[in-house]
């Protein structure tokens, strides 16, 4: 009897040891691909979703090989990261950074510090960790430069909503702690679980969705071409003016705090207007909601009023004697009178033409040092 119990204990210990060893081995694999996941190595783009968001910074291939050159960090959300039709079609050059790289390649090394669904205060917090070397397991060693440049891309479509919902959580808003720098397998397992649940839910609701299609769509026309698109992102249609001012104050304070800690950083803020501001629909339209609201619709006049409020609040809050402000709204609106600058597959993000326009505005408005 004692021998049986002893053998059972030994077997359990061996099983636990083998499981732990397997997990640690897989974790080392994730640590490796976190530093080796760029396009140049033909890393499968579909696997990126299993990597820690901060580890995806290494994915874009900007061909940084110039020595004694200027260094630029691109900071922002999915627009800065490069979401859109080009990304979905596995294009090799799909983002603002790729188009900036083409214009500034001779004397600038470009680094990504942006993630889908994020916001500037969070990204600056993660960038601080990177510059301190805390995240080297996932992002590689930080650059060694006396000065560096930051282009902050503020998106009026959901940045303020994100700060309102998650502003005080910083890295924890990604659902974890600093331990995730050392154990990226935890994020991979969480993602696999989430995707599995989504797949099951999709199968269960497929029949319902076919018999009851989504009616919250908008008809947007540019010249003679019209598209039916889902609820549009706006200039914080679901927020009050007071909420907008509070969240802009939080954003401004985060930028000032970073600037005071890194006095050698040269910053430029580029404003990205929402599709509602760019296309300004003539009729009332459905907007994407982030907070519970009674109204499902808004109009161009109300949206444009809030867009102006956001830009004015940014101008008043930030010290633009030390920081450049680039607002390409009018340019984008003018271009959008003749053709769509957002994608068909992903109507929330720019198409190739739209990203090139933002890159041109950035290179013309932001000065590097």
- How long is the chain? 369
- Predicted confidence at residue 210, as pLDDT, reads 47
The DSSP secondary-structure symbol of 67 reads S
Residue-wise pLDDT for 178-190, tens only, equals 688 889 999 999 9
- Predicted confidence at residue 143, as pLDDT, reads 83
Between 37 and 167, the more confident residue is: 37
Spatial separation of the C-alpha atoms in residues 341 and 349, rounded to whole Å: 9
- Predicted confidence at residue 18, as pLDDT, reads 83
Given a contact cutoff of 8 angstroms between Cβ atoms, the answer to whether 96 and 80 are in contact is: yes
Given a contact cutoff of 8 angstroms between Cβ atoms, the answer to whether 122 and 79 are in contact is: no
Of 60-64, 204-208, 365-369, the one with minimum mean pLDDT is 204-208
pLDDT (average), residues 92-115 = 91
Spatial separation of the C-alpha atoms in residues 114 and 34, rounded to whole Å: 15
The DSSP secondary structure of 283-348, one letter per residue, reads S-EEB--SS--S--EE-HHHHHHHHHHHHHHHHHHS-TTTSEEE--HHHHHHHTTTS--B-SS-TT
- Predicted confidence at residue 2, as pLDDT, reads 63
Please state, rounded to an integer, the average pLDDT across all residues of the chain. Answer: 89
Of all residues in the chain, what percent carry a pLDDT higher than 70?
Answer: 92
Q: Which residue has the tokens 């940045």?
A: 159
Confidence of residue 171 (pLDDT cuts 50, 70, 90): low
Given a contact cutoff of 8 angstroms between Cβ atoms, the answer to whether 317 and 166 are in contact is: no
User: CA 183: distance to chain centroid?
Assistant: 22
The DSSP secondary-structure symbol of 1 reads -
Confidence of residue 16 (pLDDT cuts 50, 70, 90): confident
Residue-wise pLDDT for 206-248, tens only, equals 655 444 445 789 999 998 899 999 999 999 999 999 999 999 9
Confidence of residue 173 (pLDDT cuts 50, 70, 90): very low
Q: Which residue has the tokens 């479509």?
A: 157
Is residue 136 classed as helix, strand or coil in its secondary structure? Answer: helix
Of 50-64, 149-163, 342-356, the one with minimum mean pLDDT is 50-64
- Predicted confidence at residue 212, as pLDDT, reads 46
Residue-wise pLDDT for 327-336, tens only, equals 999 999 999 9
Confidence of residue 177 (pLDDT cuts 50, 70, 90): low
Between 14 and 299, the more confident residue is: 299
Given a contact cutoff of 8 angstroms between Cβ atoms, the answer to whether 160 and 244 are in contact is: yes
Spatial separation of the C-alpha atoms in residues 365 and 337, rounded to whole Å: 23
Spatial separation of the C-alpha atoms in residues 173 and 93, rounded to whole Å: 29
The DSSP secondary-structure symbol of 228 reads E
Name the percent of the chain in helix, strand, coil, to the closest 5. Answer: 50, 15, 35
Q: Which of 141, 145, 183 is nearest to 52 (CA)?
A: 183
Between 67 and 284, the more confident residue is: 284
Q: Which of 291, 284, 285, 282 is nearest to 236 (CA)?
A: 291
Tokens of 361: 């505005």
- Predicted confidence at residue 175, as pLDDT, reads 41
- Predicted confidence at residue 135, as pLDDT, reads 87
Question: Does 266 score more than 90 pLDDT?
Answer: yes
Given a contact cutoff of 8 angstroms between Cβ atoms, the answer to whether 70 and 108 are in contact is: yes
Q: How many CB atoms lie within 10 A of CB 157?
A: 25
Alpha-carbon distances of 106 from 57, 100, 365, rounded to whole Å:
21, 11, 18
Spatial separation of the C-alpha atoms in residues 215 and 218, rounded to whole Å: 9
Between 306 and 171, the more confident residue is: 306
Tokens of 85: 């039709």
Question: Does 120 score more than 90 pLDDT?
Answer: yes
pLDDT (average), residues 40-55 = 91
- Predicted confidence at residue 174, as pLDDT, reads 46
Of 139-148, 286-295, 342-351, the one with minimum mean pLDDT is 139-148
């Amino acid at each position: 009897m004692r021998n049986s119990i002893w053998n059972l204990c030994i077997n359990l210990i061996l099983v636990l040891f083998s499981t732990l060893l397997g997990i640690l081995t897989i974790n080392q694999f994730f640590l490796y691909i976190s530093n080796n996941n760029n396009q140049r190595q033909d890393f499968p783009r579909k696997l990126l979703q299993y990597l820690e968001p901060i580890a995806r910074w290494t994915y874009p291939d900007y061909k940084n090989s110039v020595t004694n050159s200027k260094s630029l960090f691109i900071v922002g959300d999915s627009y800065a990261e490069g979401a859109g039709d080009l990304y979905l079609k596995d294009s090799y050059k799909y983002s603002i950074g790729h188009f900036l790289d083409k214009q500034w390649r001779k004397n600038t090394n470009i680094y990504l510090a942006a993630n889908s669904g994020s916001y500037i205060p969070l990204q600056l917090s993660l960038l601080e960790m990177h510059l301190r070397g805390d995240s080297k397991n996932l992002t590689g060693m930080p650059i060694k430069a006396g000065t560096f440049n930051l282009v902050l891309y503020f998106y009026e479509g959901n940045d303020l909503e994100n700060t309102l919902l998650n502003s005080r959580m910083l890295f924890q808003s990604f659902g974890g702690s600093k331990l995730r720098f050392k154990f990226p397998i935890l994020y991979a397992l969480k993602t696999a679980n989430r995707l599995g649940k989504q797949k099951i839910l999709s199968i269960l609701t497929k029949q319902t969705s076919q018999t009851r299609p989504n009616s919250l769509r908008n008809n947007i026309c540019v010249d003679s071409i019209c598209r039916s698109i889902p609820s549009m992102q706006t200039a914080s249609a679901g927020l009050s003016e007071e909420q907008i001012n509070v969240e802009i104050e939080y954003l401004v304070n985060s930028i000032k705090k970073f600037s005071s800690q890194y006095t050698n950083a040269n910053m430029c803020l580029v404003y990205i207007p929402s599709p509602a501001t760019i296309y300004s629909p003539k009729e009332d339209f459905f907007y994407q909601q982030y907070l519970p609201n009674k109204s499902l619709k808004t109009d161009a006049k109300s949206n444009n009023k809030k867009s102006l409020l956001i830009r004015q609040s940014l101008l008043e809050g930030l010290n633009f004697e030390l920081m450049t402000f680039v607002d390409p709204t009018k340019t984008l609106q003018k271009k959008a009178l003749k053709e769509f600058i957002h994608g068909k597959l992903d109507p929330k993000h720019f198409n190739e033409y739209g990203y090139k326009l933002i890159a041109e505005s950035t290179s013309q408005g932001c000065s590097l040092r």
